[in-house]
A and B are shown apart, each in its own frame.
Chain A
């Protein structure tokens, strides 16, 4: 039901249903009252007319047959009894219908006014004279009409129940109208929110595919304004990024040439040992600069997505580590193929392996594939990390324990880059501490569907 308040369509339905519903209810109430009034006036006139005819008829009949005639003339709303005494007693509260009836009879038969037409409740009436079974006593009006010879025609009137009978069908039509309103409002709100949803769809597609280019400014004026605002924002962001990219290109070019010169100068240094050390420093500096520039440039993201053998990458990393005198052990199947960007994936895995080697001396890599998931677990033999840092070290330029990091070098981007690459492949990497010792990097990558 949150859909009702969560969407424009839902809210439109609420507004329309509540608004139209209350209008309908008020209108229905007023209409009902008008009809009731009208009908009861009409009914009263008809009853008066009929009573006049009945009175005249009874009068024309001989007294000893009058009661029987009265009974046989009874029917419908009217019950007739003839007698020497009035059964109705005056007084009590007369309702509107009774009052109208009284006035109507007197105006049509002025003599009744003098002879004392009695209209009133049934309370004192002898029970046996009442047609109690068919009519509810509370809804009857008792009239005693004096005849010219002093006898009385006692009339029991079922209360005129006017238009109430029509209520169920009215309710039904209101319900149908309500349903109609819901249907119409769903269609209307769909139409209303169409441009808005179009805008959202355009914006999402644009950002998802990182295509450049503005969102089409179409739809209602409000939506066009919104699209224009988004385009403007997008434009500003692009300008910022462009500026940054240009600056980076300039910086990296300006750094490359002096670094190359420095390398050449170092190469001509006569002292072999000093040269070796300077070269190591240069390597480190270069790696750092390259890592930062590459991170800021995001230059691995425009590589094409291909089928890549993960195991071949890991074997290369193992070979390179072995050549550098480090220990990396790989345990896994012969081949594992994933869809991805080759050099980016290599960078990510390299960063994780290097991280393990840097802090944990040796790295052991276990690779497995289950269903649609490739799992790569990289364990080291180092001291691990405090719990609160397991997630923190993925932030750019954050390293584990500062003193250790400084001693061993590193630029604090390796894990950031690794995670960003893996996430862009629909995977992820998380860190945890091993059972006895060491840090465990757990990589997950989606496996391609079997071809």
Chain B
């Protein structure tokens, strides 16, 4: 029997415990290897599989896994089907690889339980940032998965759709957000009424755009404030807490 899964566990990561164990499910073996090498360099343990069947076998072998990178365009059993099946068995964080411009795939994927997505062709750094963010969120929520299962947040009449990455004001008007603003807002909404330090926020905002690093978090927050205005002069949903950071002062409901 052909040993289908290619393992990078142990390559260059032997001395230190790996940050996490990641499965890559993609039918392109070259891509699998390259991605594996890249992730191993960043201290992850990686296993690659080429189809849903192989992934299934791996899951049943009882291997310890922390995250799955799943290509949507797979021959045979599609990524969507695999994702749905996986969700029935486990809460493992799933990061989808989609084709850019294919909104339907993305939304369907998120709806049936994927936690995040990256569009091909992605930049490796963006993928890395997303993996880290996903793992972090998974750990915060107790390692039990349930990470991206939220579909939307509502606060003070505003609504943030996590599947479509769409913010609407109380009158239903779509308010455009930059990627950084979106990540900041999600971070605030995940922990409302709590002070978030600049470091925490920087960490959250980093997950999308690596080129934004040098932009001060204060500028990002002030932009976000402008977008989610209360309608009243001088008031804001995001309070500055001197010497500590920022806090979202709004009642948040998630669904």
Contacts and interface: CB of A to CB of B under 8 A. Distances in A.
Interface of A: 252-253, 256-257, 259-265, 267-268, 279, 286, 290, 293-294, 297, 299, 303, 306-309, 312-313, 315-316, 319-320, 323-324, 334-335, 337, 342, 346
A253 B73 CA distance: 9
Contacts of B176: 308-309, 312-313, 315-316, 342, 346
B12 to A, nearest CB: 12
Contacts of A334: 229
Contacts, number: 95
B84 interface: no
B155 interface: no
Given A259-B121, A309-B173, A323-B212, A265 B34 contact: yes
A139 B124 CA distance: 117
B123 interface: yes
10 contacts: A256-B100, A257-B28, A260-B120, A261-B31, A263-B121, A264-B38, A299-B103, A309-B173, A309-B174, A315-B226
A313 B202 CA distance: 23
Contact of A315 (B28, B99, B101, B227): B227
Contacts of A297: 101
Given A307-B172, A309-B173, A319 B223 contact: yes
B14 interface: no
Given A264-B38, A309-B176, A319-B180, 19 more contacts: A252-B101, A253-B99, A256-B99, A257-B31, A257-B120, A261-B28, A261-B31, A267-B125, A306-B173, A307-B173, A309-B173, A309-B174, A309-B175, A312-B174, A315-B223, A315-B226, A334-B229, A342-B166, A342-B174
Contacts of A290: 100-101
Nearest to A289: B121
A320 B175 CA distance: 16
A252 B73 CA distance: 12
Given A293-B101, A316-B176, A267 B121 contact: no
Contacts of B37: 264, 268
A15 to B, nearest CB: 56
Contacts of B124: 263-264, 267
A316 to B, nearest CB: 5
B63 to A, nearest CB: 24
Given A306-B174, A312-B227, A342-B174, A260 B121 contact: yes
A261 B101 contact: no
A346 B30 CA distance: 36
B171 interface: yes
B201 to A, nearest CB: 16
Given A253-B99, A316-B176, A323-B211, A261 B169 contact: no
Contacts of A259: 120-121
A415 B115 CA distance: 36
Given A260-B120, A263-B124, A309-B169, A294 B178 contact: no
Nearest to A302: B103
Contacts of A260: 31, 120-122
A297 B99 CA distance: 13
Interface string B1-41: 00000000000000000000000000010110011011001
A309 B101 CA distance: 22
B183 interface: no
Contacts of A293: 101
Contacts of A253: 73, 99
Interface in B88-137: 99-101, 103, 120-125
A309 B174 CA distance: 6
Interface residues of B, number: 38
Contacts of A308: 173-174, 176
Interface in B162-219: 166, 169, 171-178, 180-181, 211-212, 215
B236 to A, nearest CB: 14
B177 A261 contact: no
Interface string B41-82: 100000000000000000000000000000001000000000
Contacts of A342: 166, 174, 176
A265 B30 CA distance: 10
A309 B168 CA distance: 10
Contacts of B122: 260, 263
B93 to A, nearest CB: 21
B41 A268 contact: yes
Interface in B121-165: 121-125
B104 to A, nearest CB: 9
Contacts of A307: 171-174
Given A256-B100, A320-B178, A264 B172 contact: no
B70 to A, nearest CB: 15
A157 B169 CA distance: 104
A293 B101 CA distance: 9
Nearest to B120: A256
B213 to A, nearest CB: 10
Contacts of B226: 315
Contacts of B178: 316, 319-320
Contacts of B103: 299, 303
A309 B227 CA distance: 10
A206 to B, nearest CB: 24
A252 B169 CA distance: 36
Q: Please provide the 5 A-B residue pairs with the shortest distance between their CB atoms, ordered closest to farther.
A: A259-B121, A264-B34, A267-B124, A260-B121, A256-B120
Contacts of A337: 173
Nearest to A303: B103
B40 to A, nearest CB: 11
A253 B121 CA distance: 10
